[in-house]
């Protein structure tokens, strides 16, 4: 499953799911956001049973980004059942993202 695009209107539906949701707050003009994009696509396919990866463009979702305190991009937020479990700011290699997810309880089978 590929990443899912979210909007201000669909954000609550996506993050309220029982399955864990990794939300990537990004921007078109952000170089580091583009760098981690392929890794997030791979993670979304590898952990399809445990995780949904959602992409949230901050230029289109200023209300949501502001309400969650997003101050820089990329910002990765991990939600489960509507609750924020963990957050990371800045680009990182795929393995670091996978390790962070595992520390937060999202593991590959």
| CA R_g for the chain | 12
- C-alpha to C-alpha distance for 60 and 65, rounded to whole angstroms: 9
Residue 104 is assigned to a structural domain of this protein: no
Average pLDDT over residues 51-79: 95
Catalytic one of 22, 33, 43, 106: 33
Residue 12 is assigned to a structural domain of this protein: yes
Contacts of 6 by beta carbon, 8 Å cutoff, 6+ apart: 14, 23, 54, 55, 56, 61
Predicted confidence (pLDDT) per residue in 7-49, tens digit: 999 998 888 888 999 999 999 999 999 999 999 999 999 999 9
Structural domain including 48 reads: 4-98
Residue 103 is assigned to a structural domain of this protein: no
Given this model, what pLDDT does residue 2 score?
A: 83
Residue 40 is assigned to a structural domain of this protein: yes
Residue 109 is assigned to a structural domain of this protein: no
Given this model, what pLDDT does residue 108 score?
A: 67
Active-site residue flag, 33: yes
Active-site residue flag, 104: no
Residue 75 is assigned to a structural domain of this protein: yes
pTM above 0.85, yes or no: yes
Domain count, the chain: 1
Measured from the Cβ of residue 18, the count of other Cβ atoms closer than 10 Å reads 8
Say which residue, 17 or 51, is predicted with more confidence: 51
Q: What is the CATH number of the domain that holds 11?
A: 3.40.30.10
Catalytic one of 30, 58, 91, 97: 30
């Amino acid at each position: 499953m590929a990443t899912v695009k979210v909007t201000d209107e669909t954000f609550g539906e996506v993050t309220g799911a029982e399955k864990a949701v990794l939300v990537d707050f990004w921007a078109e003009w952000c170089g580091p956001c583009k760098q981690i994009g392929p890794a997030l696509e791979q993670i979304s396919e590898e952990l399809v049973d445990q995780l949904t990866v959602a992409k949230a463009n901050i230029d289109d979702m200023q209300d949501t980004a502001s309400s969650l305190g997003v101050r820089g991009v990329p910002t990765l937020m991990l939600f489960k059942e509507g609750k924020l479990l963990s957050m990371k700011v800045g680009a990182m290699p795929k393995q670091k993202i996978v390790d962070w997810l595992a520390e937060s309880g999202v593991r590959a089978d």
